[in-house]
Amino acid sequence: MAPDSRDSLFLPDILPCPVPGRCEFHAKIFGSRDQPGNIAEEWYCWRCDKMHPTTLTKAANPGATRPSTIESLPTELLQHIAGYLPVSCRASLAFASRTLCNRLGTEAWSRTAFWGNKSERYNFLSLLSRDLPTYGLCGRCVMLRHYDSECAWPLLRPHREMRGIQPPVYSVSEFLAQRTLAYYRHGRETGTCMSILACSGTYRKPWTADDRIHAEYAGFKDDDLELGIPIKYKADARLAADNLEIISHVQYQIDLPQPWTSLELAECWAIIRGLYVCPHTLSHWLVTTERQKESTWICSTCPTDVRGTINSDANSDENADENGNEKSSIVIDVWQNSVGRCGDRMTDTVLCPVSGQWFRKGKIREMFESARPL
């Protein structure tokens, strides 16, 4: 179970699975959320073929009992060495122990605090965040934010649940993306392996009371009417741009009782209503683009590329079920890049804008495809 501490991060709390519960893939590793039970301290990772910790904790202080080698250097030599370091590293070195702080002074810290020194401040906080598993660094605010603080990292499931905001079926929070990058950049135990970003299963999206009747007209079976529309999804993520960024790809498939193009407009809406493809965009364009065989969409607020495909070709084996009957479906592909910003001052579903990344609009899928699968 989750240790009651602000310094430790219980991985099952930040998984990208749809609410409620855990996906089939993650339930195999951590058990299902409905039956919490005892979750093992370590989990087996199929990607690395080794065990990883289930709870990430603040790095232990190894120098607590005896002086470190660097502390035994004469002060003049220590100051001389520190003189070669950028401000952020000097501040970080002085932060390493009381002894080092006394001998190096706090001048470098004060310098990172100046707003004019934004990049040094960012670098300093980024060094600190390596050892702080429960804090993420927001590039826009240039602040470390605890993952549990009210406005930070709003993509985290509990935050969105608390605010009554419908999250996308699958979503990697900025916080989770940063912890994953930390693992690949620094190999620290305060980061988590990429394999946790994979996710797959079937999500049942509930019908609204008004939509249920349209669902019935469309031909959905009793089970689907009762439990919600089944959305099959499969997600994976890759490291792109020289391991500096994480791009996730998720594919949603919705099987239909009849071809998408022959459904009434109200029936189409009933199927996709409330289905977010990124934190800001609903899959509404599938209806508004005159239901073309293939259509694409780019979010105007975050780096997300989306493609919708309509499958209802009776002549293709791929689209026929085992009895040779025509099988219709819509498939939605979402490629998304993490932006490293918290959602402070978020009013509704909108994260802080990502003006620095406009140039990547429409390029996310390309980035994913050119990145090496892990």
Q: Which residues bind Zn ion (CB under 5 A)?
A: 17, 23, 26, 45, 47-48, 138, 140-141, 193, 195, 199, 278, 280, 299, 301-302, 304, 342, 344
CB of 350: closest distance to Zn ion in angstroms? 8
Strand, helix or coil for residue 130: coil
Burial of 89 (0-12, 13-18, 19+ CB in 10 A): middle
* Nearest residue (CB) to Zn ion, 185 versus 280: 280
Is there a cis peptide before residue 20, judged by omega within 30 degrees of 0? yes
- Select 140 or 234, whichever has its Cβ closest to Zn ion: 140
How far apart (Å, rounded) are the C-alpha atoms in residues 37 and 34?
Answer: 9
Largest CA distance in the chain: 82
In whole angstroms, give the CA distance from residue 168 to residue 279. 6
Q: Do the beta carbons of residue 240 and residue 223 sit within 8 Å?
A: no
CB of 205 to Zn ion, least distance (A): 16
SS3 of 275, please? coil
Shortest distance (Å) from residue 298 CB to Zn ion = 9
Strands (E) in 125-244, as ranges, are: 135-138, 143-146, 199-205, 229-240
CB of 262 to Zn ion, least distance (A): 31
Nearer to Zn ion, 25 or 220 (CB): 25
Nearer to Zn ion, 27 or 263 (CB): 27
- Residue 271: Cβ within 10 Å count: 24
Query: Nearest distance from residue 301's CB to Zn ion, in Å?
Result: 5
The least CB distance from residue 121 to Zn ion, in Å, is 13
Instruction: Using the minimum distance from each CB to Zn ion, give the nearer residue, 50 or 80.
Output: 50
CA distance 196 to 222: 34
Looking at the Cβ atoms of 29 and 108, the one nearer to Zn ion is: 29
